[in-house]
Amino acid sequence: MQQSSPVPLHRAFPDRGKGHAFAAFSDRVFEGLIGISHTLEDLSSGGIWAVAIPFAGKPILARFESCRPFTGAPSNSPTALSPQNSLAEPDVNMAGPLQNVPNRESPSLRNQPIPRWHSSLSNSAYMERVNFLKSAIAEGSVYQVNLCRLLRRSVRLGNLGPEEFNRVASDLLYRHPCPEPAALFLPEADLRLISISPELFLSVDGEHVITRPIKGTAAEGHEMLEKDFHENIMIVDLMRNDLSKVCKFGSVAVTELCAYENHPGLSHLVSTVTGRLGEDFTWPSLLNSLWPPGSVSGAPKAASLKFISSLEPVPRNFYCGSVGWIDATAGTARLNVAIRTFCINNGVAVYGTGAGITYDSDPMLEWEETETKARRAIEAFESSLARLDLPPYSQGKTSSLTTSGPTG
């Protein structure tokens, strides 16, 4: 089956082994790795950096030699992950034989049960924790906590090479378009990460800074609950407070409150907070003042982090962290909140999902929200592996996302 597109999404390039690191974003591609740092202070040396910051732990800062704006990729290069470019059908000629792989719109693929992903928390364990948090909220110990779980699946890919990784990342964005995509192929740091995030953590252009927290989620076609608006307003207040630590007095403003945004299978409430950075601004001071992102921690932030540490049985790693780029020479940056994010290493894919817990939370509805957030992205990921004729796609025993795994 031969298909083509005006702007091909998949371009095979020579496998140069461990040295062929790259980072792709919506409008640019970084190439020519100079080195890896784990210290935010190194950003003061200037240069262009791909950034991956875990929810807790040391950041991965990859300094690159060149930034190529996306104007059509040469045949030997990775492709920028632009949602606009994802509207065309992928260039399947580079993806291997596809005669036996169902089409993107095929009901036979769309209706298949999702292959087994092991959850760090079972249904009952998650709901027990929701009830515990509701009691803590009633006692005044905290107002809101983002409670998460990690899903893992063996993909039997070993460590993806650059060509396969680029194909999976591009096809995944085609199936699940988003405004804040990122793909980091950094074998030197043991990092292969694909983020299809809808949420902007930080945009910096000179002294101007923007954050757009998402809080409030409903399945496509469903109404938001009153609880969703309360969550969003609480996190907006938290982000205003965080930005005020590094912005000029009186410059922080909420320019958009609880706006509706539609993304694949989901609707979100999104607010926009802006400010003007102070003259003594540094990259470490900005990131440390806002870390971790308020929408994936809770309020008050310090209290919510203690509950997260005690209730979540495994570390979030890069899930709920941030992925993006910083041009430390130009004073510009764009970083997402790393939700809807896959890490693929050593034959294992990891994906996180969570929900904001408040006094009004219904434990079963919160569990179902985590399922809703995971299902569409995981189906897209599985479909990308099948579509590109990669060997790990499971044709054997399948089950729901809610099945076995550690119960915590």
Is residue 121, in this structure, part of any structural domain at all? yes
pLDDT above 90 for 167? no
**pLDDT at position 161:** 81
- How far from 143 is each of 226, 239, 297, CA to CA, in Å? 15, 15, 11
Is residue 4, in this structure, part of any structural domain at all? no
**pLDDT at position 83:** 42
Is residue 395, in this structure, part of any structural domain at all? no
pLDDT above 90 for 115? no
Q: Output 15 or 149, whichever has higher pLDDT.
A: 149
Is residue 6, in this structure, part of any structural domain at all? no
Is residue 398, in this structure, part of any structural domain at all? no
**pLDDT at position 340:** 97
| Average pLDDT for 350-374 | 95
Between 40-44, 107-111, 287-291, the lowest mean confidence (pLDDT) is in: 107-111
- Joined together, the tokens standing for residue 389 give 């004729």
Predicted confidence band at 20 (pLDDT cuts at 50, 70, 90)? confident
Phi/psi of residue 370, nearest 5 degrees: -65, -35
Average pLDDT, the chain: 83
**pLDDT at position 40:** 97
pLDDT above 70 for 78? no
| Average pLDDT for 72-84 | 50
Q: 246, 285 in Cβ contact below 8 A?
A: yes
**pLDDT at position 315:** 97
Structural domain tally of the chain? 1
Question: Model-level pTM?
Answer: 0.83
Between 19-28, 44-53, 89-98, 251-260, the lowest mean confidence (pLDDT) is in: 89-98
**pLDDT at position 189:** 94
Is residue 308, in this structure, part of any structural domain at all? yes
Predicted confidence band at 91 (pLDDT cuts at 50, 70, 90)? very low
**pLDDT at position 157:** 63
**pLDDT at position 347:** 83
Predicted confidence band at 250 (pLDDT cuts at 50, 70, 90)? very high
Predicted confidence band at 387 (pLDDT cuts at 50, 70, 90)? confident
* Percent of the chain whose predicted confidence (pLDDT) is above 90: 68
**pLDDT at position 162:** 87
**pLDDT at position 383:** 87
Q: 205, 35 in Cβ contact below 8 A?
A: no
Is residue 262, in this structure, part of any structural domain at all? yes
Residue with tokens 């403003």: 253
Predicted confidence band at 403 (pLDDT cuts at 50, 70, 90)? very low
Q: What share of the chain is helix, strand, coil (3-state, %, to 5)?
A: 30, 30, 40
Is residue 404, in this structure, part of any structural domain at all? no
Residue with tokens 């540490």: 309
Q: Is 349 exposed, middle or buried (0-12, 13-18, 19+ CB in 10 A)?
A: buried
pLDDT above 70 for 90? no
Domain limits at 306? Answer: 17-98+108-387
The CATH number for 37's domain is 3.60.120.10
pLDDT above 50 for 14? no
Per residue in 257-299, pLDDT tens?
999 999 988 899 999 999 999 999 999 999 999 999 999 999 9
**CA angle, residues 382, 387, 388, in degrees to nearest 5:** 105
